[in-house]
Structure 1
Amino acid sequence: MGLKTGNFPPVDLETFLQEPLRHRVKTLALHWVEYGFGSAAMIPLTYIVKMAVLWLFVGSIIITSTSGVGWFWEIGTWWNQPIVYQKLIIWTMLIEAIGVAGSWGPGAGKFKPMTGGILFWARPGTIRLRPWAWLPGTNGDRRTGFDVALYLGFLASLAVALVLPGTVTPSLHAVLPDNTSGLVPVWPVAAAIVFLMLTGVRDKTIFLAARGEQYLPALVFFATLGFTDMIIGLKLLLVIVWVGAAVSKMNAHFVNVIPPMLSNTPFWPPKWFKRSMYRSFPSDIRPSRLAHFMAHVMGTVVELGAPLVLLFSTNQWVTFAALVLMVGFCFFIVSTFPLAVPLEWNLLFAVGAAVLFLGFPAWGGFAITDFSSPWLLAGIVAAMLFFPILGNLRPDKVSFLPSLRQYAGNWASALWTFTPGAEKKLDAIIRPTGNQVDQLQQLGYPFEVAEITMQQTIAWRSMHSQGRGLYSVLYETLPDLETRTVREGEFACNSIIGFNFGDGHLHNEDLIRAIQARCHFAPGEFVVVWVESQPIHKKTQEYKVIDAALGVIQRGTWLVSDAVAAQPWLPDGPIPLDVTWRAALQPPVTATNAHGIPAIKADAAVGELAEESRR
C-alpha cells in the first residue's frame, strides 16, 4: 500500500465483470483477507488528520476558549473540568449531526462529495424516513422546509450550548466550591433536546446520525440532574453502552466480524496475522480459533467485565487497570478504521472513561451508591435498558443502534439488485450526489475499476453470516441474477439518504417505497433481499424479498447455524431456506431451484399481474 496507490484486486479488467457472481465474490473475498478494501494510505491518513484537526484541535480551542478554564494547551488545568467534558459531548454530537464525523468519507461509500449529512438534511425535497407511521403529523417521505428548520434549529441549539460560558449551579458549588467555570447553561441544552425529538419523529435518519440513543441521555442529565447525580449518570451511560454491546455480541455472528475488520486495518497487523484469522487461507476463510479468541475473550469478555469493574470499583489501582483496558479497547477499534468509521465516538468514550472514572472517582464521592435517590437511579437504569432489551427480543421494532448492537455482527442487512441499466433510474432522486459507481468515475476512475471497487463491498458482506443467507435467497429466487447489478444495501443507502451505520432499518421497504415513488421501476427491475437481525431467543433470521414495484413478495427464514457454517461464496450451494409466505400474485414462474422453491422471473406479464392485484 502506497500513499496514493492502493492494493486493487489482481483481476483482468476486461473479463472479470463477465465472470459468474460466485466466482467474483470468491476472488474479491480472498483479496479482502489480505488487503481489506485495499485503500491507498492517504485515505486512512485523511481520517487521522480529520480526527486530530477537527475533533481534537478545533474542538479543544472552541471548548477551552468559551469555558474559562485556561488555554487549550494547558491540559493539566482543564482535563477534569466538568464543563469541558459536557462541551466535548456536545461538540461530538454537533459534528456527527452535521455529517463530518461517523459515516463520512470513502470508508462509508462517500467519494464525491465525502460529506452526506447536512448536504442532504438541509435541502428540501430529499428523502426523509419517519420512524412510526402511526404518529400524527409525520406523514410523507419528502423533506420540507419545516423539516429543514427543525434540523437547523437542532444544530443551532448545540452550537449555542457549545459557545456560551458556564453557569455555577448550587449543586456544583456544594461539591466543588472553588470551581468558577460552571456547567453548560440548561436552556440551550433543553432546546437541543426538543429540536432533536421533533426532528427525530419526522426523520429517524438524523436522530440516529446524531447518535441520539447515546448523546440524548447525556443532554437530559445535563438539563435535569444535580452535579453529583449527573456525573454518576454519565458513568452509567458509558457502562450500559459497553455492557449492552458486549451482551449483544454473545451470538454466533460476532466472530465473523473480527477477521474482515482486522483485514481492513491499513497500517497493521502484518499479512501473516491477517491470514491467521481464517481457518485455512485460501481454501477456507471461515473464522479461525484465534479469531474466536479475539472475538469472545479479547472482545466480549473485556467489554463486559472492565466497565463493570469501573462502575463498582473503589480501589484506585483496580480502576486504573480497567480504564487502561477500555481505553485500549477504544483505540484498537479506531486503529482498524471499520466501515462507517465511527472514530470520534470511540475517542469520546476513551476520553470520557478517563475523565469520569479518574477525574471523579468512586472514592471521591462519585460512587454509584452516592446517587441522591435510589428510586431515581433505578428509573434511569430502567429507561436506558428499555430499548436494548426490547431491541434484542424484537429487533424488528428497534434500530440496532438503540439496541446497542453496534459491531455485534447481528445486523439487519440487504443486497440490492438491478436489471441492466435500471440503476440509472436512481438519478431521479433529489440528492446532492450520485450513485457510488458514478462518483468514482467522476474522480477519474474507469468504469471497470469503479464497478469492481463497489463489488468489493458485496464480497465484504459475504464474509459475514447474514451475507451467506442473502446470497442464498438471491440464488434461489432470481434466475437472471448473473445479468443483474448487485449492490451492498448499506453503501447504496448512504448515497440516497446521506447516512448509514450498518442499520438495515434505514433501507427496508419504507426506503424502497420512497425510491419507487420517485424512480418508477418496472416490476422486476429493482429487487431487494433483506434480512432482519436475529432475536436473542431464536435460532433463525427472517428475510424478505422486496420488488420495488410490487412490494414484499416473499418472506422466509434461515437457520443462523447454517449461515455461519457456510463459506462466503457458497461453494456447496445456497443454505436451506424456509419460505413462510409468498405473494398470491407473484411473477410468473418458469423454473424451480435445487430445493424445489419456485424461482422468480420478471417479465412483461408481471405488470399485468400487479395491475390485477391493485384492482
Structure 2
Amino acid sequence: MGFKTGNFPPVDPETFLDQPLFERTKTLALHWVQYGFGSPKMIHTVYVVKLLVLYVAGGTALATLTSGTAPFWDVAGWWNEPIVYQKLVLWTLLLEAIGLAGSWGPLAGKFKPMTGGVLFWARPGSIRLRPWKRVPFTGGDTRGVVDVILYLAFLTALLTALVLPGVHSDTLTAALPHNSTGLVDPSLLYAPITLYVLTGLRDKTLFLAFRGEQYLPAVVFFAFLPFVDMIVAAKLLIVCVWVGAGVSKFGRHFSNVIPPMVSNSPCVPGKWIRRAHYRDFPRDLRPSRLATFMAHVGGTTVEVVTPLVLLFSTDHRLTVAAVVLMVTFHLFITSTFPLAVPLEWNILFGYLAVFLFLGFPNDGGYGVTDMSSAWLALLITTGLMVFPVLGNLRPDLVSFLPSMRQYAGNWASALWAFAPGAEAKLNTVAHRPTVNQIDQLGAMGYSPEAAEITMQQPVAWRSMHSQGRGLLSVLAHALPDLDSRTVREAEFGCNSLVGFNFGDGHLHDEDLIRAVQRRVGFAPGEWVVVWVESQAIHSPVQHYKVIDAALGVVERGHWKVADAVNEQPWLPNGPIPLTVTFRRDEPEADPVAGHDGAALEGSA
C-alpha cells in the first residue's frame, strides 16, 4: 500500500456484492490476512502526528510550563517529577473526555468528522444511555441541557487543575526535601471527581469513554492520599489493570486476536510475517503456533508475571528489565494501531511504568509495605479488584472495561442486519452530528460500491474472532433472507450514534436499540440485531440474543466457545451448533435448523 493509496480488496465491485455473504466474508478475510484494513499510510501518519504533537509534545509542554519544572524537551529534568506525572494523567483524561484520544479517527469508524466525543456529548438532544434504571433523576434516553452543563463543567474543572501551578505538600516535602514544585492542588480535584460520578450516573457512555475504571481511582488518590501512599496506590492500580487484562486472556479467545491485529499493523515488514500467524493460509485461518505463542507468552504471561515482579521486586536490575519489558509491550500494541486506537493510553502506561517503578523504587520506601496502613493497602486492593472479579463471573453486570478485559478477544459484540434500504433510516435520528459511515465515505468521494465493500471489511474482521463466527451462525439461522440484507459491524455503527465505542457491546445493547427505535420507528424485520455477551470465566458457552428493533428480544440461546474457535471465519461447514433457550411466542427451547435442514445441536 502507498502513502495516499490504500490496498482495496481485489474484487470486481459490480459483481462482488451479488455474492452470498459468507463468500464475501471469505474473500475479505483472506485479504485482511495480508493487508489488514488496507488503509493508506497517510492515515497512520495522521495518528502518529496527533500522538506526537498533540499528546506527547502538547501534554508535556503544558505539564512542565505550568509546574515550574525543566522545559519539556529536557526529559531528564522532569520525568520523575510527581506533579508532571499527575498532570500527564489529567491531560490524557482530558483528551479522552473530549474524544481526541481512544476511539478517534478512521480506524475507529469515524471518517468524516474524525472526532466523535464532544460533538455528541455537548449537544442537547443526542442519545444518552443511563447505566442503571434505579438511579433517580436519570430517566430517559435524551441528553438534556443539564447533561451538557455537567459535561462541560467536567472539562473545565480538568483544565483548571491542569493549568494552575502546584501547591506545597508536607507529605511530599517529607519524602523529597529538595522538591520545589509541589503537587496539583487537591482542592482542585474535588470538582472533577464529583462531576466524574454525576456524568457517569447519567450516561454510561461518558464514564466508559473517560476510562473511569482507571483514571477516577488515580484522581481520587491524588486528592486524598499522602504522597507515599499515593505512589504505592498508583502502583497497585496499574498492576491491577495489567494483571486483570492478563487473566482475561486465559481462555480460548485471545489466540484469535493476535493474527488480525498483526495483519492490520503498518509496522510489520512483510506479508509472510502476517501469514505466519495463521495455521495454513489461505485454507485455514485459525491461529498458528506462532500466534498462540505471541498471545499466551508475549501477552498473557507478560501481563500477569511482569507486573507482579514490578510490584514486589527490590532488585534494581530485575526491576529495570521488567520496566523495559512493559514499555516494549505497550509500544508493540501502539505499533499495531488496533481498531479502537488506544494509542495515548498505551504511551501513558509506558511512561507510568518508568515513573512509578524506576522513579520511586520499592526498595526506596515506595513498596507495598511502606503504605501508612496495611489496612489501607488491603482496602485499595480489594476495591480495585471488585469489578474485575465480578465482571469475569457475571459479564452481563459489568462492562469489559471495568472488568479489565482490554483487547482479550472476549467481548460483548453484535452484528446489525438491515432490510434493503432500512439502514438509511438511521440518518433521520435527530441531533446526531454524523451520518452512517457508508454515507460518510460517499461524502469523501467513494463510489457506492467501494463504500459498501469498505464497510463490509469490519464484518470480515469480526469473523476472524471467535464471537464473529457465532454471530454469523445466529444470523444464518435467524434470517433466511440474509444474503439480501445489509450486514454491519455494530461497534462501527454505535460510534456514529453515540460518538464512542471501545469494543464494548454494552454500549449497543437493547438500551441503544430502544433509543434509536423510539426516534426512527423501524418496522418488524427491518433492523435485526444479533448480540452476544462475553464468556464468563467459569462457563464454556457464550449467550446470545436476537433483537428485532420493533419487537424486542425474539430469541435467546448460547453456543460453545470451543465450536466457535475451531471454525473458519466464513463457516465452510455451515453455522456452528446453537442451543435456543427462548423464542418469542414459543414457551420451550428447541433445536433450530441449519441451511441444510439438519438440527443444530448444542448443550448447556
TM-score band, normalised by shorter chain: over 0.9
After TM superposition, give the deviation of residue 187 of structure 1 in Å.
Answer: 1.8
Residue 502 of structure 1 aligns with an amino acid whose one-letter code is G
For residues 39 and 485 of structure 1, what CA distance do their matches in structure 2 show? 23
Match of 2:214 in 1: 214
- Deviations, residues 186-241 of structure 1 (Å, cap 9, x unaligned): 12211101001000001010111111110000001001100000001111111110
Contact 2:579 2:600 survives alignment (8 Å): no
Contact 2:122 2:148 survives alignment (8 Å): yes
Match of 2:11 in 1: 11
Residue 121 of structure 1 aligns with an amino acid whose one-letter code is W
After TM superposition, give the deviation of residue 94 of structure 1 in Å.
Answer: 0.2
* 3-state SS, counterpart of residue 14 of structure 1: helix
Match of 2:312 in 1: 312
Residue 580 of structure 2 aligns with an amino acid whose one-letter code is V
1:414-493 equivalences in 2 (<5 Å): 414-429=414-429, 430-493=431-494
Residue 115 of structure 2 aligns with an amino acid whose one-letter code is T
Match of 2:148 in 1: 148
Residue 446 of structure 1 aligns with an amino acid whose one-letter code is S
After TM superposition, give the deviation of residue 269 of structure 1 in Å.
Answer: 3.6
- Deviations, residues 84-116 of structure 1 (Å, cap 9, x unaligned): 000000000000010000000001000000000
Match of 1:35 in 2: 35
Match of 1:544 in 2: 545
Residue 131 of structure 2 aligns with an amino acid whose one-letter code is P
After TM superposition, give the deviation of residue 454 of structure 1 in Å.
Answer: 0.6
Moved more, 253-262 or 185-194: 185-194
1:134-283 equivalences in 2 (<5 Å): 134-283=134-283
Alpha-carbon spacing, 1:597–1:79, altered in 2? closer, same or farther (3 Å): closer
For residues 318 and 535 of structure 1, what CA distance do their matches in structure 2 show? 35
* 3-state SS, counterpart of residue 568 of structure 1: coil
- Deviations, residues 293-320 of structure 1 (Å, cap 9, x unaligned): 0100111101111111111000100000
Between the aligned residues of both structures, percent identity stands at: 65
Match of 2:522 in 1: 521
For residues 600 and 349 of structure 2, what CA distance do their matches in structure 1 show? 48
Contact 1:476 1:597 survives alignment (8 Å): no
Contact 2:90 2:158 survives alignment (8 Å): yes
Contact 2:418 2:487 survives alignment (8 Å): yes
Contact 2:413 2:490 survives alignment (8 Å): yes
Match of 1:2 in 2: 2
Contact 1:168 1:183 survives alignment (8 Å): yes
For residues 291 and 74 of structure 1, what CA distance do their matches in structure 2 show? 40
Moved more, 269-278 or 391-400: 269-278
Residue 550 of structure 1 aligns with an amino acid whose one-letter code is L
Say if 2:57 is the partner of 1:57: yes
Match of 1:22 in 2: 22
For residues 246 and 302 of structure 2, what CA distance do their matches in structure 1 show? 8
Residue 92 of structure 2 aligns with an amino acid whose one-letter code is T
Residue 77 of structure 2 aligns with an amino acid whose one-letter code is T
For residues 145 and 269 of structure 1, what CA distance do their matches in structure 2 show? 50
Match of 1:346 in 2: 346
1:383-394 equivalences in 2 (<5 Å): 383-394=383-394
For residues 67 and 291 of structure 1, what CA distance do their matches in structure 2 show? 45
Moved more, 23-32 or 177-186: 177-186
* 3-state SS, counterpart of residue 359 of structure 1: coil
After TM superposition, give the deviation of residue 369 of structure 1 in Å.
Answer: 1.0
Contact 2:576 2:600 survives alignment (8 Å): no
For residues 465 and 26 of structure 1, what CA distance do their matches in structure 2 show? 15
Match of 1:334 in 2: 334
Gaps of at least 5 residues in structure 1 are 599-615
For residues 579 and 399 of structure 1, what CA distance do their matches in structure 2 show? 25
* 3-state SS, counterpart of residue 538 of structure 1: coil
After TM superposition, give the deviation of residue 597 of structure 1 in Å.
Answer: 7.3
Residue 480 of structure 1 aligns with an amino acid whose one-letter code is D
Q: Give the ranges of 4+ consecutive aligned residues of structure 1 lying more than 2 Å apart after TM superposition.
A: 591-598
Residue 493 of structure 1 aligns with an amino acid whose one-letter code is C
- Deviations, residues 338-375 of structure 1 (Å, cap 9, x unaligned): 00100000000000110111111112111111011000
After TM superposition, give the deviation of residue 596 of structure 1 in Å.
Answer: 4.3
Gaps of at least 5 residues in structure 2 are none
Residue 136 of structure 1 aligns with an amino acid whose one-letter code is P
Contact 2:466 2:561 survives alignment (8 Å): yes
For residues 340 and 248 of structure 2, what CA distance do their matches in structure 1 show? 19
* 3-state SS, counterpart of residue 329 of structure 2: helix
* 3-state SS, counterpart of residue 320 of structure 1: helix
Match of 2:380 in 1: 380
For residues 267 and 169 of structure 1, what CA distance do their matches in structure 2 show? 45
* 3-state SS, counterpart of residue 262 of structure 1: helix
* 3-state SS, counterpart of residue 414 of structure 1: strand
Say if 2:72 is the partner of 1:76: no
Residue 93 of structure 2 aligns with an amino acid whose one-letter code is M
What TM-score does the superposition give when structure 2 sets the normalisation length?
0.97
Match of 2:355 in 1: 355
Residue 14 of structure 2 aligns with an amino acid whose one-letter code is E
For residues 70 and 258 of structure 1, what CA distance do their matches in structure 2 show? 40
Say if 2:508 is the partner of 1:507: yes
After TM superposition, give the deviation of residue 531 of structure 1 in Å.
Answer: 0.1
After TM superposition, give the deviation of residue 277 of structure 1 in Å.
Answer: 0.4
Match of 1:533 in 2: 534
For residues 567 and 597 of structure 1, what CA distance do their matches in structure 2 show? 17
After TM superposition, give the deviation of residue 592 of structure 1 in Å.
Answer: 5.0
Contact 1:415 1:489 survives alignment (8 Å): yes
For residues 515 and 254 of structure 1, what CA distance do their matches in structure 2 show? 32
How many residues were matched structurally? 594
For residues 565 and 299 of structure 1, what CA distance do their matches in structure 2 show? 21
After TM superposition, give the deviation of residue 178 of structure 1 in Å.
Answer: 1.4
* 3-state SS, counterpart of residue 14 of structure 2: coil
Residue 526 of structure 1 aligns with an amino acid whose one-letter code is W
* 3-state SS, counterpart of residue 541 of structure 1: strand
Match of 1:579 in 2: 580
For residues 58 and 376 of structure 1, what CA distance do their matches in structure 2 show? 36
For residues 435 and 310 of structure 1, what CA distance do their matches in structure 2 show? 45
Residue 443 of structure 2 aligns with an amino acid whose one-letter code is Q
For residues 310 and 176 of structure 1, what CA distance do their matches in structure 2 show? 22
Give the superposed CA RMSD.
Answer: 1.2
- Deviations, residues 266-287 of structure 1 (Å, cap 9, x unaligned): 1214110100000110011110
Residue 371 of structure 1 aligns with an amino acid whose one-letter code is M
Residue 15 of structure 1 aligns with an amino acid whose one-letter code is T
Match of 2:108 in 1: 108
For residues 346 and 284 of structure 1, what CA distance do their matches in structure 2 show? 32
For residues 30 and 187 of structure 2, what CA distance do their matches in structure 1 show? 54
After TM superposition, give the deviation of residue 460 of structure 1 in Å.
Answer: 0.2
Match of 1:94 in 2: 94
After TM superposition, give the deviation of residue 438 of structure 1 in Å.
Answer: 0.3
- Deviations, residues 447-498 of structure 1 (Å, cap 9, x unaligned): 1111100100000000000000000000011001111000001111000000
Contact 1:490 1:503 survives alignment (8 Å): yes
For residues 367 and 396 of structure 1, what CA distance do their matches in structure 2 show? 36
Contact 1:394 1:535 survives alignment (8 Å): yes
For residues 408 and 569 of structure 1, what CA distance do their matches in structure 2 show? 22
